[in-house]
Amino acid sequence: MRAEQTVNEMVQEVLWRQAKVHAKRTGEPLAEALEAVLQTPAGWQLSGLRDGPHAQEEARDWQEGLLWERALERLDGMATLDLMSRFSTEGNYSWLDDCMERLEGKEARAEYYALLEAELASLRG
């Protein structure tokens, strides 16, 4: 990659490099090898990048922007995981607390209430 290279130029280099490897491996002419490379999932992605909105942007600026985007995505994911883990540890047995509150003072379910109380105590302790 050259310092002032555009995304389009960078992608073209990558595609031709892959085509040369493919041609060497299969014995196909270079033009046919390039077509074969373009038919792969990676080739489709590179074509989309080559023809996309960042095509004329300098590759280093685009890559730097990608790094920032990925870092922000990771941070967002980490924050989401942290929030979910806090929720799951803090609210794990809130349904049991609700049941206990509903059952308080109900003499007809004393045995059930005792079992729930024992279970709650074992979960908390």
Domain residue limits at 110: 93-125
Same domain, yes or no, for 20 and 64?
A: yes
Q: How many domains does the chain have?
A: 2
Same domain, yes or no, for 51 and 73?
A: yes
Same domain, yes or no, for 72 and 102?
A: no
Reduced to 3 states, what is the DSSP secondary structure of residue 104? coil
What is 15-76 written as a DSSP string? HHHHHHHHHHHH---HHHHHHHHHTSHHHHHHHHHHHSTTTTSBHHHHHHHHHHHHHHHHHH
Same domain, yes or no, for 79 and 124?
A: no
For residue 77, the model assigns a pLDDT of 74
For residue 75, the model assigns a pLDDT of 77
Same domain, yes or no, for 84 and 116?
A: no
Sorted by sequence, the CB contacts under 8 Å of residue 57 that are 6+ apart come out as 6, 7
Same domain, yes or no, for 77 and 107?
A: no
The dihedral through the CA atoms of 13, 14, 18, 21 has a sign that is positive
Nearest of 70, 37, 1 to residue 45 by alpha carbon = 37
User: What confidence tens digit (pLDDT) does each residue in 5-44 have?
Assistant: 787 888 889 899 999 999 999 999 999 999 999 999 988 8
Same domain, yes or no, for 25 and 41?
A: yes
Mean pLDDT to the nearest integer, 46-51: 82
User: What confidence tens digit (pLDDT) does each residue in 82-120 have?
Assistant: 666 665 555 555 666 666 666 665 555 667 667 777 777
For residue 22, the model assigns a pLDDT of 93
For residue 68, the model assigns a pLDDT of 74
Same domain, yes or no, for 52 and 7?
A: yes
Return the residue matching tokens 């892959």. Answer: 18
Contact indicator for 117, 100 with CB cutoff of 8 Å: yes
